[in-house]
Chain A
């Protein structure tokens, strides 16, 4: 299981890469993709959509389940990773290299963890 440094992590297993003070990239963690199983489709959000921290950003489908991706920040979607529509398996193969959405004009954020704390968090959840 990977926990790259330089990223922030949410309790609902999303990672955040701050690009500058008011914009970031969002994706799902290695733990998330292993829980999901084989991803078959991602229902990407739309550019221009407003997102609110702790609310649903989009959802990801595996064969027998749907999982919500929770937005760690409040802001506006400025870009989405269209490549994931045709190659959803990238979320399984390379979760940290496969960003889902870019959010700009960030106005608020959840309390996020660094890699070490997130790794601990997962261990304590599994216990």
Chain B
């Protein structure tokens, strides 16, 4: 397929901008480097992007069981609401009286998300989960500094955590202590007790964890950290198992981030934009990044928290993403949210149950919204790896699950069907997984060679990294 730069011909263009209706003025110094953007007509342009769209796999194309990503259906009403001119044509620096609707969106979203998470206030400013994690770590830093507690420099993180957790802690100036997971997949309590001390700033945890398991010792875990003088931060990536059923605030967490693009159905867009609101309990509210929205007598305004850590980005966060999430919450409501979570957990256990006779499940217990399989034994016996299985899935038109995460499981495949998949879709996927297992045993070469039906075959990632070509050059 051609790159857009290989399409069109000199002189082709669209007629978009009118001539100048005032005397022309130009800068004194202008660029000498040529600006060689594509020269295409509108017809060619649209054909190019249509061709690209056929080389993309969206949720509308099929099953998307990516563990830790919650690829649930993206409702179209959300997109319609996010396209309303009353939202899109509004300048972020308009006077408050002229944006009461926008402030109402932010305020309502905050209110409902606080209720869902058990927090006292929430900022919608962070643009993604990792951004929220950084914000949360900064809240801890500001809180400790404010109390003169400068000796607390360590954040405790389980070895099963997503890479953004330790990276975020370090960005906020902390160092990381890893604690290991016990044989049951939960945090090893002895390891945790040994890790806490007077230098403990806090703990970062997700529950259910990245293995898809709810840590039954959660209250003990947060108690241990609090007793040592640290704060507890909840990574909300796995909220889909418990949204509307259990609240991180009730588990003992002081700070929470959410991934609206996971739990709250906003689209992934091929890698963004997402939204990572951060909520906290009362003792941390004054440190939140600002401004946050406040309501009094039906009027909304923006206020800067008294000891705010400042801004983590310009303006108001990914506002249209918040519109989508709010629309979703209004649609599902009080009963729809827990119902969605319960089905997410049901579907995952159903799929796991159908696969566990064939695939190895490292944790022989019910899962929550996702489960992890290990292809370690299959790899040793047949040479077929988790990677090979995922490439085999591509030839069946299925998006593979998450591979090689969490890193504490060898040859891991992390599977999350979500609540919006039908039983038929799950059954179909199960059949494909079983077939692939057979193929691994009888014809492993086929899987080493896969995929063969996709627009491109396996790509040379080593070459791409050794000799990076990061843009087109004539």
Residues of B within 8 A of A62 (CB): 462
Q: Which B442-471 residues have C-beta < 8 A from chain A?
A: 461-462, 465-466
A38 touches B462 (CB 8 A): yes
Closest beta carbon of chain A to B161's beta carbon, Å: 17
Chief secondary structure at chain B's binding surface: helix
Q: Does B366 contact A (CB under 8 A)?
A: no
Q: Which A54-73 residues have C-beta < 8 A from chain B?
A: 61-64
A38 to chain B: closest residue by CB: B462
B404 touches A41 (CB 8 A): no
A63 touches B462 (CB 8 A): yes
Q: A41–B462 Cα gap in the complex (Å)?
A: 10
Q: Does A95 contact B (CB under 8 A)?
A: no
Residues of A within 8 A of B404 (CB): 64
B466 touches A89 (CB 8 A): yes
Residues of B within 8 A of A88 (CB): 466
Q: A88–B99 Cα gap in the complex (Å)?
A: 56
Closest beta carbon of chain A to B470's beta carbon, Å: 14
A87 to chain B: closest residue by CB: B466
Residues of A within 8 A of B462 (CB): 38, 40, 62-63
Closest beta carbon of chain B to A37's beta carbon, Å: 8
Residue with the highest number of chain A CB atoms closer than 10 Å, among B404, B461, B466: B466
Q: A64–B466 Cα gap in the complex (Å)?
A: 13
Q: A74–B222 Cα gap in the complex (Å)?
A: 42
Q: A48–B465 Cα gap in the complex (Å)?
A: 28
Contact with A along B386-413 (1 / 0, CB 8 A): 0000000000000000001000000000
B466 touches A61 (CB 8 A): no
Q: A41–B463 Cα gap in the complex (Å)?
A: 11
Residues of B within 8 A of A64 (CB): 404
Q: A54–B462 Cα gap in the complex (Å)?
A: 29
Q: Which B280-324 residues have C-beta < 8 A from chain A?
A: none
Closest beta carbon of chain A to B413's beta carbon, Å: 15
B461 to chain A: closest residue by CB: A63
Closest beta carbon of chain A to B383's beta carbon, Å: 16
Q: A37–B425 Cα gap in the complex (Å)?
A: 37
Q: A40–B460 Cα gap in the complex (Å)?
A: 12
Closest beta carbon of chain A to B157's beta carbon, Å: 18
Q: A62–B466 Cα gap in the complex (Å)?
A: 9
A37 to chain B: closest residue by CB: B462
Residues of A within 8 A of B466 (CB): 40-41, 88-89
Closest beta carbon of chain B to A42's beta carbon, Å: 11
Q: A38–B467 Cα gap in the complex (Å)?
A: 13
Closest beta carbon of chain A to B339's beta carbon, Å: 39
Q: Which A65-94 residues have C-beta < 8 A from chain B?
A: 88-89
Residues of A within 8 A of B465 (CB): 40-41, 61, 63
Closest beta carbon of chain B to A85's beta carbon, Å: 11
Residues of B within 8 A of A61 (CB): 465
Q: A88–B463 Cα gap in the complex (Å)?
A: 11
Q: A63–B462 Cα gap in the complex (Å)?
A: 6
Residues of B within 8 A of A41 (CB): 465-466
Q: Which B353-379 residues have C-beta < 8 A from chain A?
A: none
B404 to chain A: closest residue by CB: A64
Residues of A within 8 A of B461 (CB): 63
Q: A63–B404 Cα gap in the complex (Å)?
A: 13
Q: A62–B465 Cα gap in the complex (Å)?
A: 8
Q: A119–B403 Cα gap in the complex (Å)?
A: 34
B407 to chain A: closest residue by CB: A65
Contact with B along A87-116 (1 / 0, CB 8 A): 011000000000000000000000000000
Contact with A along B99-110 (1 / 0, CB 8 A): 000000000000
Closest beta carbon of chain B to A102's beta carbon, Å: 24
Residues of B within 8 A of A38 (CB): 462
Q: A88–B462 Cα gap in the complex (Å)?
A: 11
Q: A61–B466 Cα gap in the complex (Å)?
A: 10
B387 to chain A: closest residue by CB: A64
B466 to chain A: closest residue by CB: A40
Q: A69–B272 Cα gap in the complex (Å)?
A: 35
Residues of B within 8 A of A89 (CB): 466
Residue with the highest number of chain B CB atoms closer than 10 Å, among A38, A88, A89: A38
Closest beta carbon of chain A to B432's beta carbon, Å: 25
Q: A89–B460 Cα gap in the complex (Å)?
A: 14
Closest beta carbon of chain B to A80's beta carbon, Å: 19
Q: A62–B461 Cα gap in the complex (Å)?
A: 10
A41 to chain B: closest residue by CB: B465
Closest beta carbon of chain A to B27's beta carbon, Å: 39
Q: Which A26-45 residues have C-beta < 8 A from chain B?
A: 38, 40-41
14 A-B interface contacts by CB (under 8 A): A38-B462, A40-B462, A40-B465, A40-B466, A41-B465, A41-B466, A61-B465, A62-B462, A63-B461, A63-B462, A63-B465, A64-B404, A88-B466, A89-B466
Known: A41-B466, A63-B461. 12 other contacts (CB 8 A): A38-B462, A40-B462, A40-B465, A40-B466, A41-B465, A61-B465, A62-B462, A63-B462, A63-B465, A64-B404, A88-B466, A89-B466
List the 8 closest pairs (A to B, CB-CB), nearest first. Answer: A40-B465, A38-B462, A63-B461, A40-B466, A63-B465, A63-B462, A40-B462, A88-B466
